[in-house]
Amino acid sequence: MGRLFGTDGVRGVANADLTAELALGLSVAAAHVLAEVGTFEGHRPTAVVGRDPRASGEFLEAAVVAGLASAGVDVLRVGVLPTPAVAYLTGVLGADLGVMLSASHNAMPDNGIKFFARGGHKLADELEDRIEAAYYENTVHRTGAPWERPTGGGVGRVRSYDEGFDQYVAHLIAVLPNRLDGLKIVLDEAHGAAARVSPEAFTRAGAEVITIGAEPDGLNINDGYGSTHLDQLKAAVVEHGADFGIAHDGDADRCLAVDGAGEEVDGDQILAVLALAMREAGTLRGDAVVGTVMSNLGFKIAMEREGIHLVETAVGDRYVLESMKEHGYALGGEQSGHVIVLDHATTGDGTLTGLMLAARVAATGRTLADLAGVMRRLPQVLINVPDVDKSRVKTSAELASAVAEAERELGSTGRVLLRPSGTEPLVRVMVEAADIDQARSVASRLADAVKSALG
């Protein structure tokens, strides 16, 4: 029996791995576990439920709503909204639970369920474990005592909450430091959850907006558009003579950009631009930004040059967020464009990130390419080495010798990272160097060394 919850909720192929029965059962289990830990004590519980536009989200939403209401939880259905909007509304409406149905940047057949605790924060791992255990015990194996089911007026009531759209957009506008008048921006919505929200927010903020990938039909989410497919955005920015472009993923918790010449601006560069803007505004607490061990070395060099401390965590936005909350940092994120501005959001918010990036361009009068030039991305080569004993990465003397030799060759202008995959029997070899040919050569030699030492 594998663990249901991954690093970002429960995810799988809709109606195969992620069924209506599973969605209903997990929702009932979540309601009972939260009741047991006292979250609902003294009041009638409420949950906010939203989804991205995937066709499967329609039946999964119905299952989640049914499960919650059958357990006595009132439900506010906010419809198709980005993941960060559901998190925000969970907090601002004082709800006890938030549920988002989305598989983010995954292909359309997938879907997922993500729970938010009161305040709009990610549910603690311990609570996820308890929910999963309760689901198996009471729904799958039926070994536990049957749950009491409310009747009469005790059952949850369900209503649509259409005001959530305007509330979220108003929140995004309110936290902007300045307007975007005079900017021409192309927005790629990945045919996803931000197809209405993002253009509305940028337009209200004063920008001239051109949209692509903003016609979701339930089947086309992330299909050739969005942050994982930037070619359409690059072409549209150049074609329309726009100042720059912004791309979201399916649930809009990510943001990547394209400058006026059609060149990609990745999450590290976005973080660099926002870090300098926030330090200037006095909101970059500790003069620090949180990244991961996969952050480009060019980002680290740039931050050191600018007097900003880069705090590195393991790969995954959950680890970035944990570090930010533990130490009180205000900004963090990943190369993928998952950027967290903790003063204004409890999770990565692609629309907010794009707006803040645009605000910086508007405030300085500089181009995005110029602002992003604060850092130079060093060439990065990644090789996956399959069918090796990944458990011996840190203990192999032969491999340690090969890594040391590579690090001597690269010196201070390069970096080596060997990472065992968390889900597959393979080791990821990442090499950065000032020169792409050198990066490729060193990565190839290290990949051979991994095969020899761990094969």
Does the annotation flag 251 for ligand binding?
yes
Sequence-distant (6+) residues with CB within 8 A of 94 are: 46, 118
Q: Is the dihedral of CA 409, 412, 418, 421 positive or negative?
A: negative
Q: Name the H helices within 241-349.
A: 267-281, 297-305, 317-327
C-alpha–C-alpha distance, residues 84 and 205, integer Å: 19
**Listed residue (436, 307, 309, 448) closest to 376, CA to CA:** 436
Residue 110 annotated as part of some ligand binding site: no
403 sits in which H/E element = helix 397-410
Tell me how far the alpha carbon of residue 209 is from its chain's centroid.
Answer: 24
Say if residues 42 and 3 touch (Cβ distance below 8 Å): no
Which amino acid type is present at position 335?
Q
What single DSSP character describes residue 413? G
Is 231 part of any known ligand binding site? no
Reduce the DSSP state of residue 152 to 3 states and report it: helix
Q: Which helix (H) or strand (E) holds 13?
A: strand 9-13
Which residues form the catalytic set? Answer: 104
Give 416-450 as a DSSP string.
EEEEE-SSSSEEEEEEE-SSHHHHHHHHHHHHHHH
Q: Where are the alpha helices (DSSP H) in 306-378?
A: 317-327, 350-364, 368-372
Residue 322 gets the label, from left (phi > 0), alpha (psi -120 to 50) or beta, of alpha
Sheet of 5-6: strands edge to edge?
Answer: 5-6, 9-13, 110-117, 97-101, 46-51, 74-80, 158-160
Q: Helix or strand or coil: residue 7?
A: coil
Name the binding residues. 104, 249, 251, 253
Name the binding residues for Mg(2+). 104, 249, 251, 253
